[in-house]
Chain A
């Protein structure tokens, strides 16, 4: 079993989701998991990959890889897989990674299983289906196998691994790879940390009562070093930007701690946050469905409880 993990990096930072997949790969029993890092300063990131379990890191710094475009990455990966005979390619999902994975599958005539949330040692993937109500087992009939994992499926854990072996890869671009270019990039302005990456999310619902009360959520999130999320109802009502919407038609998150303020817990919201490690909810309505899947539920008024909670946490933190 030989596994290679594609690590996505932007601005000299390996993406947390990719490192999570690498952590997972290292736990599957292959002593020699390889990673691929491409783009500017890829080499400098190799030792970090080592700490997350990569024994060998392929790096490619060709100028064609500076822009976040999929095709040149497909070229690099296809070459590595072909030359080194890797049987399994694991990729953490992102806008870029989805294109890379599908392009690679087409190039190698390989099977691609996408939206996986887990993978067993004998390479059976777990994929949520029927609106995440069941997990189905998926596998591959041939090699190479390509797997694309849902964001936040695995925690990224550094181990005491040694320095990895670094292999520089020369890039041979296919003819069509140079045909696309990025003409501009814009960053969406958002209030705090991005909710996909945050370990702590404080989310607000209609129970906050008014848009200005989102300051309660923001203050608590700041104190905990977390991000602010919102339900569809409040985004619909224009209380908070769409980029913060969590749920079926918003973002799917799985932070370590999810604090739900005034959120009733409709199933459309639940499917966006049910895989959070610890769910704490505060709601006036003791019959709110959210209490059925909370680890800690507080029946009470968010306007009274949250300021005191924020104060207490500040005190504890000194």
Chain B
């Protein structure tokens, strides 16, 4: 008997999160373009809109007092941003910036790729997908803060600590979002300082929520936009270290501590990027189509750090930051059928604009945000009908490098289902042929449909020493997360499941949100949830649950990730 998490779906329905506006008309907050999410896509969209509206004051005037607003669930732009990040600067340039003017850790000078075994490291020539010449090293959180300032300079209003809870739909057309209530207790009843959410009404709404976007998922279901293939994800967990001396170039590793046999489906690798002379970031990324109930990306990263080659880089250093986030990896075939619906545009990671073999997505997010701004602006000009003219966005994305790049590597993620070596060889062949090698469309199964197995995976994780290796709770602390404990639970899961499923969730979560509760005697157990630990990485949504946004301002407070 095989068990799959997908057989125990969470109590969740997209319909719960779609509503008509309910606030009295004069209490609604009216804006021109409403952007959900102050990440690279949303901020690029706001910045481009600012540029266009400055050049066309007549359009700006018709959009009212607040032509552009951004709602952000984190404490500030950047609080919930995490990435590697080695960024291709072309999209930033197209937005009108000189990359030299942006806070960064400089261009990539040198790079190396290693295949690791338990004790050794074999240096290999970087596969074509992993060449980073001309790319720049950023902290995405810092980049988000900087872009946030630019967006505000351009006239956008940023509403931080505000979650977009419901999609407002009226007569089949998206008309904004309803923000989340604040100050509710665990039972959902208002406390002394309660503040109900409000209707933010807009002519065009842009969802740029990032990976596992809550309303993006709701919109894809509501408007029937899901792509041919299901979306799948990877989970990335990373740390920032202060070290005596950072490595010169960027380092990627493959192999150990991941197991290479196809049956385990442990697809992934690590990255180590210098951040100036005395900091580095080290992260581990693993595909969530893995099967072992004991696989924990958090702990695989701890294991990685014990490798002699890697612990040497960290010696004498101190961990100063930690975070985790999923990465959509379904690629080209998992993109939605359309990126727009009446009154609505979808951009960035939320719809899966990530090139997994190249480990790149930030510049697609920025470019799609910019293109969304241009389509929204075109739709808002006098004489245009916003509801129908947003389809220019789909066309623009199709003609952009986003489409070309994703098409070139369209089957890349799927081939790794065949195991590390076969997959790696096919992946290289595909890139060298610039996408002309056609394997036929390969199928992917949703991550939650992988049959679970057990193989004593956890035995190799190191016991945390609090210096080089850490337990999950210490990591949550290092993320800056100090979420109010007595708020309603924002994580939807089936609370009584077979033990394997519960154990898989416990291992999966890098932030120790889940615990196995009491046994039911029939092979099932209850699952205990500590929602305030959650860093909103989204892994639970990939593996059989559903993350919804907690009270605005909750979650991690990333600064260096």
Contacts and interface: CB of A to CB of B under 8 A. Distances in A.
Interface string A271-311: 00000000000000000010010000000000000000000
Given A131-B480, A236-B530, A289-B466, A250 B485 contact: yes
Contacts of A131: 477, 480, 482
Given A266-B473, A267-B477, A268-B473, A249 B482 contact: yes
B486 A242 contact: yes
A248 interface: yes
Contacts, number: 34
Contact of B485 (A249, A289, A292): A249
Nearest to B485: A249
B259 interface: no
B418 interface: no
A231 to B, nearest CB: 11
Q: Is the interface of B mostly helix, strand, loop or mixed?
A: loop
B328 to A, nearest CB: 31
A236 B485 CA distance: 8
Contacts of A245: 485
B448 to A, nearest CB: 26
Contacts of B530: 232-233, 236
Given A237-B528, A289-B466, A242 B485 contact: yes
Interface string B461-502: 000001000010110110010111110000000000000000
B483 A249 contact: yes
Contact of B477 (A242, A250, A268): A268
B532 interface: yes
Contacts of B482: 131, 248-249
A250 B466 CA distance: 23
Interface in A218-244: 232-233, 235-237, 242
A293 to B, nearest CB: 11
A242 B482 CA distance: 15
A69 B369 CA distance: 48
A258 to B, nearest CB: 20
Q: Which of B473, B483, B484 has the most CB of A within 10 A?
A: B473
B240 to A, nearest CB: 13
Contacts of A250: 485
A133 to B, nearest CB: 9
Given A248-B482, A249-B482, A249-B484, A266 B474 contact: yes
B378 to A, nearest CB: 46
Contact of B532 (A237, A249, A289): A249
A31 to B, nearest CB: 42
A242 B185 CA distance: 11
Contacts of B483: 249
B485 A235 contact: yes
A179 B483 CA distance: 34
Contacts of B474: 266-267
B491 to A, nearest CB: 13
A161 to B, nearest CB: 40
A128 B479 CA distance: 17
Nearest to B559: A130
B477 A248 contact: yes
A131 B322 CA distance: 14
A267 B466 CA distance: 11
A267 B482 CA distance: 12
A235 B532 CA distance: 12
A249 B480 CA distance: 12
Contacts of B528: 237
Interface string B498-529: 00000000000000000000000000000010
Q: Which of A245, A250, A267, A292 has the most CB of B within 10 A?
A: A267
Contacts of B471: 266
Contacts of A267: 473-474, 477
Contacts of A235: 485
Contacts of B485: 232, 235-236, 242, 245, 249-250
A25 to B, nearest CB: 31
Contacts of B476: 268
Nearest to B512: A266
A248 B476 CA distance: 12
B481 to A, nearest CB: 9
Nearest to B484: A249
A7 to B, nearest CB: 26
A237 B483 CA distance: 17
A237 B530 CA distance: 9
B492 to A, nearest CB: 18
A266 B470 CA distance: 11
A279 to B, nearest CB: 18
A292 B482 CA distance: 23
Contacts of B466: 289, 292
Contacts of A266: 471, 473-474, 477
Interface string A119-146: 0000000000001000000000000000
Q: Which one of B471, B474, B485 has the highest number of Cβ atoms from chain A below 10 Å of its Cβ?
A: B485
Contacts of B532: 232, 249
A172 to B, nearest CB: 32
A155 B530 CA distance: 36
A268 B532 CA distance: 12
B525 to A, nearest CB: 15
Interface of B: 466, 471, 473-474, 476-477, 480, 482-486, 528, 530, 532
29 contacts: A131-B477, A131-B480, A131-B482, A232-B530, A232-B532, A233-B530, A235-B485, A236-B530, A237-B528, A242-B485, A242-B486, A245-B485, A248-B477, A248-B482, A249-B482, A249-B483, A249-B484, A249-B485, A249-B532, A266-B471, A266-B474, A266-B477, A267-B473, A267-B474, A267-B477, A268-B473, A268-B476, A289-B466, A292-B466
Given A267-B473, A267-B477, 14 more contacts: A131-B482, A232-B485, A232-B532, A233-B530, A236-B530, A242-B485, A248-B477, A249-B482, A249-B532, A266-B471, A266-B474, A268-B476, A289-B466, A292-B466
Which 4 pairs, one residue from A and one from B, show the smallest C-beta to C-beta distance?
Answer: A266-B473, A267-B477, A249-B485, A248-B482
